Amino acid sequence: MKISILTLFPEMYEGFINTSIIKRAIEDNKVEIELINFRDYSKDPHKKVDDTPYGGGAGMVLTCQPIFDCIEDIKTNDSKVILLTPSGKVYNQGLAYDLSKEKHLIIICGHYEGFDDRIETLADYIISIGDYVLTGGEIPSMVLADSIIRLVPGVINEESHINDSFNKDYLLDYPTYTKPDDYKGMKVPDVLLSGDHKKIDEWRKDQAIKRTEERRPDLLDK
Ligand code: ADE
Protein backbone atom coordinates (compact mmCIF):
# COMPACT_ATOMS: atom_id res chain seq x y z
CA MET A 1 0.00 0.00 0.00
CA LYS A 2 1.08 3.55 -0.72
CA ILE A 3 -0.12 6.57 1.25
CA SER A 4 0.51 10.01 -0.24
CA ILE A 5 -0.02 12.86 2.19
CA LEU A 6 -0.52 16.39 0.87
CA THR A 7 0.65 18.77 3.56
CA LEU A 8 2.22 22.19 4.02
CA PHE A 9 4.17 20.80 7.00
CA PRO A 10 5.99 17.59 6.01
CA GLU A 11 8.43 18.07 8.91
CA MET A 12 5.63 17.14 11.32
CA TYR A 13 5.84 13.51 10.14
CA GLU A 14 9.47 12.87 11.10
CA GLY A 15 8.72 11.17 14.40
CA PHE A 16 5.73 9.33 12.97
CA ILE A 17 7.56 7.63 10.11
CA ASN A 18 10.76 6.95 12.03
CA THR A 19 9.36 5.21 15.09
CA SER A 20 8.26 1.74 16.12
CA ILE A 21 5.70 -0.21 14.07
CA ILE A 22 5.26 2.41 11.32
CA LYS A 23 9.02 2.61 10.80
CA ARG A 24 9.24 -1.19 10.54
CA ALA A 25 6.28 -1.39 8.14
CA ILE A 26 8.07 1.08 5.85
CA GLU A 27 11.40 -0.78 6.12
CA ASP A 28 9.66 -4.09 5.35
CA ASN A 29 8.01 -2.53 2.26
CA LYS A 30 4.53 -3.21 3.60
CA VAL A 31 3.72 0.46 3.15
CA GLU A 32 5.21 3.47 1.42
CA ILE A 33 4.54 6.96 2.78
CA GLU A 34 5.01 9.84 0.37
CA LEU A 35 4.96 13.37 1.79
CA ILE A 36 4.09 16.05 -0.74
CA ASN A 37 4.23 19.74 0.03
CA PHE A 38 1.51 21.05 -2.25
CA ARG A 39 3.04 24.51 -2.04
CA ASP A 40 5.46 23.16 -4.65
CA TYR A 41 2.51 23.06 -7.08
CA SER A 42 1.50 26.68 -6.56
CA LYS A 43 1.63 28.79 -9.73
CA ASP A 44 1.63 31.98 -7.67
CA PRO A 45 4.92 33.91 -8.01
CA HIS A 46 5.22 33.87 -4.21
CA LYS A 47 4.08 30.23 -3.92
CA LYS A 48 0.93 31.34 -2.13
CA VAL A 49 -1.56 28.57 -1.37
CA ASP A 50 -4.29 30.53 0.43
CA ASP A 51 -6.42 33.64 0.10
CA THR A 52 -9.14 35.58 1.92
CA PRO A 53 -12.67 34.14 1.97
CA TYR A 54 -15.36 35.48 -0.39
CA GLY A 55 -18.12 37.08 1.68
CA GLY A 56 -15.64 38.11 4.39
CA GLY A 57 -14.74 36.47 7.66
CA ALA A 58 -11.65 35.55 9.63
CA GLY A 59 -8.64 33.63 8.44
CA MET A 60 -7.30 32.34 5.16
CA VAL A 61 -8.72 29.68 2.88
CA LEU A 62 -6.68 27.14 0.87
CA THR A 63 -7.04 27.79 -2.85
CA CYS A 64 -8.00 25.23 -5.50
CA GLN A 65 -5.09 25.45 -7.94
CA PRO A 66 -2.17 23.86 -6.03
CA ILE A 67 -4.30 20.99 -4.68
CA PHE A 68 -6.11 20.29 -7.98
CA ASP A 69 -2.80 20.26 -9.89
CA CYS A 70 -1.15 18.03 -7.30
CA ILE A 71 -3.99 15.49 -7.36
CA GLU A 72 -4.01 15.49 -11.15
CA ASP A 73 -0.29 14.78 -11.12
CA ILE A 74 -0.29 11.86 -8.65
CA LYS A 75 -3.72 10.22 -8.95
CA THR A 76 -4.03 6.88 -10.75
CA ASN A 77 -6.94 4.45 -11.29
CA ASP A 78 -5.89 2.75 -8.03
CA SER A 79 -6.09 5.92 -5.91
CA LYS A 80 -8.70 6.93 -3.36
CA VAL A 81 -8.66 10.55 -2.23
CA ILE A 82 -9.42 11.46 1.37
CA LEU A 83 -10.09 15.00 2.50
CA LEU A 84 -9.66 15.74 6.21
CA THR A 85 -11.91 18.31 7.81
CA PRO A 86 -13.88 18.66 11.05
CA SER A 87 -16.97 18.84 8.79
CA GLY A 88 -16.43 15.29 7.52
CA LYS A 89 -18.03 11.98 8.39
CA VAL A 90 -16.66 10.73 11.72
CA TYR A 91 -13.91 8.13 11.34
CA ASN A 92 -14.16 4.67 12.87
CA GLN A 93 -12.54 1.23 12.85
CA GLY A 94 -14.88 -0.05 10.11
CA LEU A 95 -13.63 2.67 7.78
CA ALA A 96 -10.04 1.88 8.80
CA TYR A 97 -10.63 -1.74 7.67
CA ASP A 98 -12.13 -0.66 4.35
CA LEU A 99 -9.27 1.76 3.66
CA SER A 100 -6.61 -0.83 4.61
CA LYS A 101 -7.67 -2.84 1.52
CA GLU A 102 -6.87 0.00 -0.91
CA LYS A 103 -3.69 0.17 -3.01
CA HIS A 104 -3.12 3.94 -2.91
CA LEU A 105 -4.56 6.49 -0.53
CA ILE A 106 -4.10 10.21 -1.08
CA ILE A 107 -4.79 12.24 2.06
CA ILE A 108 -5.30 16.00 1.80
CA CYS A 109 -4.57 17.96 4.98
CA GLY A 110 -6.35 21.27 5.37
CA HIS A 111 -4.86 24.14 7.34
CA TYR A 112 -5.77 27.69 8.33
CA GLU A 113 -9.53 28.39 8.21
CA GLY A 114 -10.25 25.56 5.80
CA PHE A 115 -10.25 25.11 2.05
CA ASP A 116 -12.22 26.25 -0.97
CA ASP A 117 -15.30 24.04 -1.06
CA ARG A 118 -14.64 23.05 -4.67
CA ILE A 119 -11.72 20.94 -3.38
CA GLU A 120 -14.36 18.54 -2.01
CA THR A 121 -15.11 17.48 -5.59
CA LEU A 122 -11.73 15.71 -5.64
CA ALA A 123 -12.52 13.52 -2.64
CA ASP A 124 -13.80 9.95 -2.44
CA TYR A 125 -14.02 10.29 1.36
CA ILE A 126 -14.51 13.41 3.51
CA ILE A 127 -13.44 12.47 7.02
CA SER A 128 -13.26 14.00 10.49
CA ILE A 129 -11.43 12.21 13.30
CA GLY A 130 -13.81 13.53 15.94
CA ASP A 131 -15.98 16.38 17.11
CA TYR A 132 -13.24 18.85 17.90
CA VAL A 133 -11.20 21.25 15.81
CA LEU A 134 -7.44 20.94 15.35
CA THR A 135 -5.13 23.50 13.75
CA GLY A 136 -4.74 21.35 10.66
CA GLY A 137 -5.15 17.94 9.07
CA GLU A 138 -1.63 16.71 9.83
CA ILE A 139 -2.41 14.99 13.14
CA PRO A 140 -5.67 13.56 11.73
CA SER A 141 -3.69 12.20 8.75
CA MET A 142 -1.33 10.42 11.16
CA VAL A 143 -4.34 9.03 13.03
CA LEU A 144 -5.71 7.60 9.77
CA ALA A 145 -2.35 6.34 8.50
CA ASP A 146 -1.51 4.67 11.83
CA SER A 147 -4.89 2.96 12.20
CA ILE A 148 -4.78 1.76 8.57
CA ILE A 149 -1.14 0.64 8.44
CA ARG A 150 -1.51 -1.62 11.49
CA LEU A 151 -4.29 -3.47 9.61
CA VAL A 152 -2.18 -4.09 6.50
CA PRO A 153 -1.44 -7.85 6.46
CA GLY A 154 1.93 -8.68 8.01
CA VAL A 155 2.42 -5.36 9.83
CA ILE A 156 1.36 -6.70 13.21
CA ASN A 157 0.36 -10.15 14.37
CA GLU A 158 -3.26 -10.55 13.23
CA GLU A 159 -4.37 -11.79 16.64
CA SER A 160 -3.43 -8.36 18.00
CA HIS A 161 -6.19 -6.66 16.05
CA ILE A 162 -8.80 -9.44 16.01
CA ASN A 163 -9.48 -8.66 19.67
CA ASP A 164 -9.32 -4.86 19.31
CA SER A 165 -12.03 -2.64 20.71
CA PHE A 166 -14.67 -1.88 18.05
CA ASN A 167 -14.17 -5.12 16.14
CA LYS A 168 -17.05 -7.34 15.04
CA ASP A 169 -19.38 -6.97 18.00
CA TYR A 170 -18.74 -3.27 18.76
CA LEU A 171 -17.57 -3.99 22.31
CA LEU A 172 -14.73 -2.21 24.06
CA ASP A 173 -11.68 -4.29 25.01
CA TYR A 174 -11.82 -6.36 28.19
CA PRO A 175 -9.31 -5.42 30.95
CA THR A 176 -5.83 -6.92 30.70
CA TYR A 177 -3.13 -7.34 33.38
CA THR A 178 0.51 -8.35 33.58
CA LYS A 179 2.94 -9.15 36.39
CA PRO A 180 2.95 -8.72 39.36
CA ASP A 181 -0.38 -10.29 40.38
CA ASP A 182 -0.57 -7.92 43.37
CA TYR A 183 0.49 -4.30 42.91
CA LYS A 184 0.05 -2.07 45.98
CA GLY A 185 -2.87 -4.22 47.09
CA MET A 186 -4.59 -4.14 43.69
CA LYS A 187 -5.02 -7.79 42.77
CA VAL A 188 -5.38 -9.41 39.37
CA PRO A 189 -8.78 -11.19 39.19
CA ASP A 190 -8.40 -14.83 40.32
CA VAL A 191 -10.00 -16.20 37.15
CA LEU A 192 -7.05 -14.98 35.06
CA LEU A 193 -4.66 -17.00 37.23
CA SER A 194 -6.88 -20.11 37.14
CA GLY A 195 -5.66 -21.56 33.82
CA ASP A 196 -9.31 -22.38 32.96
CA HIS A 197 -9.59 -20.97 29.44
CA LYS A 198 -13.33 -21.43 29.09
CA LYS A 199 -13.91 -19.45 32.30
CA ILE A 200 -11.38 -16.81 31.20
CA ASP A 201 -13.18 -16.35 27.86
CA GLU A 202 -16.54 -15.98 29.63
CA TRP A 203 -15.08 -13.48 32.11
CA ARG A 204 -13.53 -11.43 29.30
CA LYS A 205 -16.80 -11.31 27.36
CA ASP A 206 -18.72 -10.22 30.51
CA GLN A 207 -16.16 -7.55 31.29
CA ALA A 208 -16.26 -6.23 27.71
CA ILE A 209 -20.04 -5.89 27.91
CA LYS A 210 -19.91 -4.28 31.36
CA ARG A 211 -17.25 -1.79 30.30
CA THR A 212 -19.16 -0.92 27.13
CA GLU A 213 -22.40 -0.40 29.11
CA GLU A 214 -20.57 1.94 31.49
CA ARG A 215 -18.43 3.90 29.08
CA ARG A 216 -19.99 3.67 25.61
CA PRO A 217 -23.66 2.66 25.86
CA ASP A 218 -24.12 4.14 22.35
CA LEU A 219 -22.10 1.22 20.91
CA LEU A 220 -24.55 -1.36 22.26
CA ASP A 221 -27.29 0.04 20.00
CA LYS A 222 -25.24 -1.16 17.03
N1 ADE B 1 -8.81 19.34 10.77
C2 ADE B 1 -9.03 20.05 11.88
N3 ADE B 1 -9.77 19.36 12.77
C4 ADE B 1 -10.01 18.15 12.20
C5 ADE B 1 -10.72 17.00 12.62
N6 ADE B 1 -11.34 16.93 13.79
N7 ADE B 1 -10.75 15.94 11.78
C8 ADE B 1 -10.14 16.01 10.57
N9 ADE B 1 -9.47 17.07 10.12
C10 ADE B 1 -9.39 18.14 10.92
pLDDT per residue over 138-188, tens digit each? 999 999 999 999 999 999 988 777 777 776 568 999 999 999 999 999 999
Q: Is the pLDDT of residue 10 over 90?
A: yes
The domains found in the chain, sorted by start residue, are 2-158 (3.40.1280.10), 166-220 (1.10.1270.20)
Label residue 199 by pLDDT band (50, 70, 90). Answer: very high
What does the H/E/C string look like for 119-162? HHHHCCEEEECCCCCCCECHHHHHHHHHHHHCCCCCCCCHHHHH
Q: Please tell me the distance between residue 216's alpha carbon and the centre of ligand 1 in angstroms.
A: 22
Pocket test for ligand 1, best of 128, 132, 141, 147 (most atoms within 8 A of CB): 128
Q: What is the pLDDT of residue 184?
A: 98
Nearest CA residue ID for atom 9, ligand 1:
85
Sign of CA dihedral 61, 62, 68, 71: negative
CA-wise closest residue to 106 among 175, 177, 6? 6
> Considering only 41-50, 99-108, 111-120, 153-162, which range has the smallest mean pLDDT?
153-162
Please calculate the CA angle 147-152-153 and round it to the nearest 5 degrees: 140
List all residues whose CB is within 6 A of at least one atom of ligand 1.
84-86, 110, 128-130, 132-134, 136-137, 140
Nearest CA residue ID for atom 6, ligand 1:
86
Q: What is the pLDDT of residue 168?
A: 55
Crossing angle of helices 93-100 and 138-149, in 10° steps, is 70
pLDDT per residue over 26-48, tens digit each? 999 999 999 999 999 999 999 99
CA-wise closest residue to 4 among 93, 92, 73, 95? 73
Pocket test for ligand 1, best of 61, 133, 139, 144 (most atoms within 8 A of CB): 133
Single pTM value for the model: 0.94
If DSSP codes are grouped into helix, strand and coil, which group holds residue 35? strand
User: CB–CB of 42/73 below 8 Å?
Assistant: no
